[in-house]
Amino acid sequence: MIVGLDPRDIRVRNGIPVTSIERTLDDLARRMPPEQVANVIHDAAYRRLFSAARARERGNPRLNRAIEMYLAGSAGTKSDLEDRFMTLVREGRFSEPIINTHILGIEVDFRWGDYCVMVDGPNHTRAPTRAKDEADQATLEAHGLTVVRFTEAAIELEPRLVLAELAARLRRARRR
């Protein structure tokens, strides 16, 4: 058995003792930002292993924040690039976006109301990916959403410019 754990936190899968999803999420929330834990919650919910009520019983404020994010429609961050962009969002003291949500069947990396940000890593330079990105952006814009794209290079090499651009665009989006 697993020593030092509350027996209620232990499950047995295929004859192997493991911690419950609630215990695992609680442990992760103590070490990871809420948007990363929200991604784990999203995956656990997809697998029908997640109960918000049981997870909230843990009393962990960071876990509760991740649960709130998930319930608001956020699938959390899925990459180092998205994590770096969220660091900029916090640095700029912007309101928290919904992360990796679907609009019109299109996954949007970050959304503030009608304003969407897509962060483009290296695979977005390939022609098929670029074509899909352009089609998705056209669809979103045709439905009244504002879409801006930031490259990995811009996020890495010019974070102050990214922050300034984000601030200006969010101000414009609020005025509409």
What total number of domains does the chain contain? 2
Residue 85 to residues 60, 66, 120, 127, 168, Cα–Cα distance (Å): 25, 17, 11, 24, 16
Indicate whether 26 and 95 sit together in one domain. Answer: no
Give the torsion through C-alpha atoms of 70, 74, 75, 80, to 10 deg.
-120
Q: Which of 121, 123, 120 is nearest to 137 (CA)?
A: 120
Q: Which two structure tokens, joined as six digits, stand for 166?
A: 């984000």
Successive 10-residue mean pLDDT values, the chain, 176 residues:
74 89 94 95 95 93 96 93 94 93 95 93 77 94 94 93 90 72
Residues constituting the chain: 176
168 and 110 fall within a common domain: yes
Query: Is residue 2 one of the residues assigned to a domain?
Result: no
Q: What are phi and psi of 140, to 5 degrees?
A: -60, -45
Taking the C-alpha atoms of residue 8 and residue 135, their distance in angstroms, rounded to an integer, is 49
Same domain, 62 and 113: no
Give the pLDDT confidence score for residue 94 in this predicted structure: 92
Q: Give me the residue label for tokens 């890593």.
A: 121
Asked which of 71, 97, 125 is the last residue of a domain, the reply is 71
At which of 71, 101, 125 does a domain end? 71
Q: Which domain holds residue 38?
A: 7-71
pLDDT given for residue 111 in this prediction = 95
Does residue 99 share a domain with residue 40? no
Same domain, 155 and 107: yes
